[in-house]
Structure 1
């Protein structure tokens, strides 16, 4: 930039980058939209399993640049992006809005509903990866049981997928848990549960 204005050389370079980003970004946006559409029924199923309630979960993926197209949006945002030193438009900035029974969860869902939705999204993603790859991925859940009431913790444990599941917890396992193995940390060492060391 010279005196706050783009030089011709920088503008040409940005045109090349923006053209490529628009091409790839449009492809990525279409792929994400298809993925969100496929994942939505899986999230609904997992949410019902965990909560015991029939609710309608909606996943809304609507890129902010879709109306004008990514190429136009990149050009329109260029000056602000250069001032900020970061690209503010594109698929890397997109978000999926989650709605529960027609209301946005960010503002209308309770903490329990948000936690249950987060787990439903995790389980749905696991199911989707298994469906797409034909193999079962490892599912890792970090300290989720302490955030759930006993009924939802039991529901989660009852609906864990087949395959390897690793759950970390700082609190005792609920009665519904029947792990194949339990590892504990004692004096800074990882040991099998019940090992006197």
Structure 2
């Protein structure tokens, strides 16, 4: 799948702008604060219905406007033109359309387009808490199979309801609370086992790809290890919930389940979060993204658009060159506030200033 054209209206700092993209590498250049990451965010929104920067939908609408519009003209794997449109409302419900047909639910847009984003903030996947690594796994699962999104939402709902019940119990396990807990536990165990199996399978498939990507980026071989082994998977989540019930009631929160799982990332036999250098951590984060991108490309009929959002400036020259020389096949969009390294050979260059396209040109070489 190739995005041929992107149009933005009242999105972030864009009043009205359009971008003609190429099937190869497009470079989007401009000083900091001009709108390069906003362009990347718009593309990713059409794939995930969320901001990779963690912003709420109303923050994506230009200040002073009531709604923002993202419109993309896409060429699919069968060479058919697809028009994808999303309207983000500052007040009220957002709307999405595919080929001018309104979708019954905005989440039906998931899977129509896939985008992989590499951003400087990806370092949090290595340095941050377990939630960041869980989110990486679950976002990758959704990119592989849209039905995992509904599973994730339902699991979140069940955990919230269970936590509400535990708080209302006030530390006392009455017969009424126990009966209701049984209902929520059964549902949590069912969904949790499914998600746990999916996460474990994903980690197993990604492990060799992460190792290969890290070696390519670092220019040397190093043992990288991904481990997803939550204790509840050995006993079964139903049994683990029973064992933790007294503690859960006492603390008023669900202490066991996929919402608490950790994914350990090791380098050279040590925890990368605490022992790897920042350069190694950044390379690991890139390797994770590259592995996920490759897996999604191999297992779906739609190779994701690859977006490198100001990543090259965070790498030393050797690793930046290694990344550029090992880019996967498909459409690539690179944003940068500084000139690109000599090893970058974009087919199209777009310069942006204050939410406006200043120049747009093809490489004539």
Task: Classify the TM-score, shorter chain.
Answer: 0.7 to 0.9
Alpha-carbon distance between aligned partners in 1 of 2:216 and 2:179, rounded to the nearest angstrom: 54
1:135 aligns with 2:135: no
1:30-78: CA deviations, max 9, x gaps?
2211111111111111111111101121111111323433123223434
1:77-136: CA deviations, max 9, x gaps?
345545655433211222211111222111221111110010011000000001111331
Deviates more, 1:147-156 or 1:171-180: 171-180
> How many residue pairs are counted as aligned between the two chains?
194
Alpha-carbon distance between aligned partners in 2 of 1:95 and 1:23, rounded to the nearest angstrom: 19
Alpha-carbon distance between aligned partners in 1 of 2:252 and 2:313, rounded to the nearest angstrom: 41
TM-score, normalising length from structure 1?
0.87
Match of 1:147 in 2: 314
Alpha-carbon distance between aligned partners in 1 of 2:253 and 2:341, rounded to the nearest angstrom: 46
1:18 aligns with 2:217: no
Contact residue 138 and residue 165 of structure 1 kept, 8 A: yes
**Structure 2 segments unaligned to the other structure (5+ residues):** 1-167
Match of 2:213 in 1: 46
Over 3 Å counting, the alpha-carbon distance change for 1:88 and 1:184 in structure 2 is farther
Match of 1:61 in 2: 228
Which of 289, 292, 303 is the equivalent residue of 1:122?
Answer: 289
Contact residue 181 and residue 192 of structure 1 kept, 8 A: no
Contact residue 297 and residue 303 of structure 2 kept, 8 A: yes
Over 3 Å counting, the alpha-carbon distance change for 1:67 and 1:148 in structure 2 is same
**Structure 1 segments unaligned to the other structure (5+ residues):** none
SS at the partner of 1:88?
Answer: coil
Alpha-carbon RMSD across the aligned residues, in angstroms, is 2.1
Alpha-carbon distance between aligned partners in 2 of 1:34 and 1:187, rounded to the nearest angstrom: 44
Match of 2:204 in 1: 37
TM-score, normalising length from structure 2?
0.49
Match of 2:323 in 1: 156
Contact residue 145 and residue 153 of structure 1 kept, 8 A: yes
Match of 1:168 in 2: 335
Matches within 5 A, 1:95-106: 95-106=262-273
User: How far did 1:18 drift?
Assistant: 0.8
Alpha-carbon distance between aligned partners in 2 of 1:170 and 1:88, rounded to the nearest angstrom: 44
Match of 1:88 in 2: 255
Alpha-carbon distance between aligned partners in 1 of 2:200 and 2:287, rounded to the nearest angstrom: 19
Contact residue 56 and residue 102 of structure 1 kept, 8 A: yes
Contact residue 173 and residue 249 of structure 2 kept, 8 A: no
Deviates more, 1:147-156 or 1:25-34: 25-34
- Please identify which structure carries the higher strand content: 2
Alpha-carbon distance between aligned partners in 2 of 1:85 and 1:170, rounded to the nearest angstrom: 48
Alpha-carbon distance between aligned partners in 1 of 2:214 and 2:332, rounded to the nearest angstrom: 19
